[in-house]
Structure 1
Amino acid sequence: MAENSNLLAEQRRALILDEVRRRGGVRVNELTRRLNVSDMTVRRDLDALARQGMVEKVHGGAVPVLEASTHEPGFEAKSALELTAKEDIAREAARLVTPGSALALSGGTTTFALAHHLLQVEGLTIVTNSVRVADVFENALRHGTAPAQAATVVLTGGVRTPSDSLVGPIADRAIRSLHFDLLFLGSHGISLEAGLSTPNLAEAETNRSFVASARRVVAVADHTKWGTVGLSTFASLNEVDTLVTDVGLPLEIRSAVSEQVREVIIAGTVPGVPLSD
């Protein structure tokens, strides 16, 4: 069997994941026909997705992992996933930043990756509720790797979540008193119906405060976030000005998102290819 060489492994797995979530399960023989790859390739892809906790393997195929909408993975667990996609997204998102801007960065592993790309942008004022993001700038100052006009970083107070974000009334009041040129917003999940969501009710309210205080909202989310819905929505897609995602997001989903989000930026260099019927 001549395999389809146009798809990278990450793209192929994103398409498989989308198909599993959309249909509630797929069989190996269906995927081999749709993707034009071997049975062994599909099984390797399913093994990889199962190791990441994205699907559950069953006899002859795979089904979605049924997670409670209140389940919140820790920062370390999430930081090991989709490293290439997050780095691509962070690089593209950093290009949106002008020196001297007032920025807000919410918690999350993608905003953490973005923080590293902002280290050399001069004159920034950054407000964040992420302990990890604040540490990036603090470590740069400590080791002398920050520019002459290093960023001024404000870390909100609040109660710490499993993802190392500070949330609650103290954070909310501080954020709502400020005004940001740009907000970079991570999320636990994203979908057409639920928008951006999180399992943590307090974090949802803090993120709503961020959205209310920002002139421009930029959501940063890799393709694996698509179709995941947390307990609480904190922003609908039409509240998002720009979505920065990666090439793993299937074309049909990109098209649907573009109808609600003003601008969609696809990070990476290889165009996605949707499953064909």
Structure 2
Amino acid sequence: MRKTAIYQIVIALVFLAGTAAARAEDITQQTVYTIAFSGIKIADAVFDTTVNDGDYRIRADIEAAGIGNLFTSIAVKVDAQGDWKDGRPETKAFQLSYRDGDYARDYGAEFSRRRVVSSTIEPDPGPRGNDWVDVTAKHLRGVIDPISALLLPPSNNPCQGKIAIFDGETRLDLELAPAGTKPFSTKGFSGRAVGCAMRFRPIAGYERKDDDIQYLANTRELVVWFAFNEELNVYAPVTAQIPLKIGRLTIYASKFGV
């Protein structure tokens, strides 16, 4: 299994609260997610967030839990850095290391004013097939990295609008719509979670006939639930159920912003 299915899951998780608006003091927090497939734990995801005078950094490690043979070889490391401007995160740099057995790829992108100024993939993937949708300059404006993408600012209705994402290779949109509220409790949080229904829209940097991407693009069952992190002043994901062709993935924050 390559970057397609699992990494789009990582995008849908999109992870941990990362920064604070207009905060001068240093903040350090950790959130831990449990990832299960068809009710069986398959991975742990640990996110460490630091904020220093308006600059934020999020480092994440996602490793298989060692059960079964479908996901055990996968490991993902992510590093996202940026500024918080006008109540929104603004990416400066993003790096991702993806490992699946002998398969290895490192992705990187540099951003300035919500525009990609450079990107790299190592090792070079080489020529693409006729089915590949190329990324062009117009796709790289007004974008954000997939880690910072769902740091939702305070709002009576945070689940609205469209988020344009670039991860170093793939350009996609996430379209958000309200999906209600529900109680949620875990270590570090007890209260109500806000649900965002999401539509996954691949734009460029992918294969048109990729079955996993097409399945995500056509599903209407993707909902991510967010809790409000008071110290960081953002909504951040706490739980999600993600439909895949081979089953359902569940993501749950066992520790939130502590």
Same fold by TM-score greater than 0.5: no
Question: Which structure shows the higher strand fraction?
Answer: 2
Give the TM-score taking structure 1 as reference length: 0.27
Question: Which structure shows the higher helix fraction?
Answer: 1
